Amino acid sequence: MKTAETEAPPRKRRRWLRVSVIALASVLVLALGALGGAGWYFSGEVVNVDHGPDEYSLTALAVDEKTVTLPLGKDTEKPGTWGLAWEDGQAVIGDIVEADDETVTRSIESVLFGELTEGTAVRIDTYAYRGDPATALGLDYENVDIPTELGDAPAWYLPGEKATWVITVHGHNAERAETLRADEIYNVLGYPVLAVTHRNDEGAPASPSGLLSLGEDESDDIVDAVDYALANGAEDVILHGISMGGAIVATAARKLAGTGEVAGLVLDSPVVDWNSTLDMQAEDRNVIAPITWTAKRIVEFRADIDLDDLDQRNFADEFDMPVMLFVDTDDHTVDHTATLDFAEMLPPDQVTVFTTASGHTASWNEDPVAYAGALEDYLAAL
């Protein structure tokens, strides 16, 4: 017969086990909470609407009528044509005139508006141009409203004599000024241009959720813009999207596949696949894989989307129009390898690829003449 003394140790062990299980459960709850919180924060970087003020992290060290001197850095020493923005002004800067170990002096091609002086806080601007088509480029245009399911969305209409219209679409939390570089090329070639806004843009209707859907719902606004163009004299359209604008117009092109309404598709540093792009951005920020996975699931929940539906590679056979791809291999914002994969999935005679290495959406900036020439060749072959 067992004594009380021999039964006591098991009870102690069971008590220790209960305490351990409770402690482990608490740790798991805390870990899951932290994982969810981090995932929610990261998801907000993707789907939140943000039209906050720009930051000006550089200083104009010296300025004369023809040049500006800036601190030497990765952005200021890149060759090509760039914008130089400050709080109430914009200039276009070009070639490097002189450089040393600390500074770089570049030519000023034009001052679009404002006064640039020594000591002004500035930043390098990939857009190059700011303002409207008249302010930035001296081009005639009209402000028009495009009816959408959520209300009227403002657009710039630049007239042209051709029957094919071009609809240009900016990127993630950006603005129409981002499309001015391309708008000018199309205008010179005689194409009417609609530089559009979509839901959640400044001046445009908000989405019901108040969040971005990364191209899924915004593409409906582009379909409405195509309807507007066709109702106002266009025979067909070319869709030109930059960054997230690429995801938007690619999704719109899929929705219009088979109609004959989309004569061409131009994608500049496009988000062809959000999954790989978010993976790349997370890795660059040293975000661990579980947080990335959680953030993507939260993005899908909050925006009511399926990221796989926005991987254009899954639908390559639905693109029935000639496609022009501007791909920058030094892109640290969008996964450009997905774009190259997409190109490989299209028939060789259907796709044109133009590559640069100057950063996200900077193909034009690296060489505006080469960019315009590649685009003109593509358009001539449509």
- The tens digit of pLDDT for each residue in 236-270 reads 999 999 999 999 999 999 999 999 999 999 999 99
- Bigger pLDDT: 30 or 193? 193
Taking the C-alpha atoms of residue 176 and residue 14, their distance in angstroms, rounded to an integer, is 67
What does the pLDDT read at residue 16? 53
Across-strand partners of 70? 104
Taking the C-alpha atoms of residue 179 and residue 168, their distance in angstroms, rounded to an integer, is 6
Strands (E) in the chain, as ranges, are: 58-59, 62-63, 67-71, 82-86, 89-99, 103-113, 121-125, 142-148, 151-158, 164-169, 193-196, 236-242, 262-268, 323-328, 351-356
* Domain ranges within the chain, ordered by starting residue: 58-125, 133-380
* C-beta of residue 225 within 8 angstroms of C-beta of residue 194: yes
What does the pLDDT read at residue 25? 42
pLDDT in tens, 135-144: 999 999 999 9
Mean pLDDT of all residues in 203-232? 98
What distances in angstroms separate CA 276 from CA 253, 296, 313, one per listed residue? 21, 11, 12
pLDDT in tens, 324-334: 999 999 999 99
Taking the C-alpha atoms of residue 157 and residue 140, their distance in angstroms, rounded to an integer, is 9
Instruction: Please give the share of the chain, as a percent, with pLDDT higher than 70.
Output: 91
What does the pLDDT read at residue 268? 98
Helical H segments across 191-314, by residue range:
218-231, 244-255, 274-284, 289-303
What does the pLDDT read at residue 34? 56
CATH number at 133-380: 3.40.50.1820
Cα dihedral sign, 158-161-165-169: negative
What does the pLDDT read at residue 29? 45
pLDDT in tens, 102-115: 999 999 999 999 99
Taking the C-alpha atoms of residue 255 and residue 346, their distance in angstroms, rounded to an integer, is 18
pLDDT in tens, 5-64: 445 555 555 555 555 545 444 443 444 455 668 888 889 999 999 999 999 999 999 999
Mean pLDDT of all residues in 202-223? 98
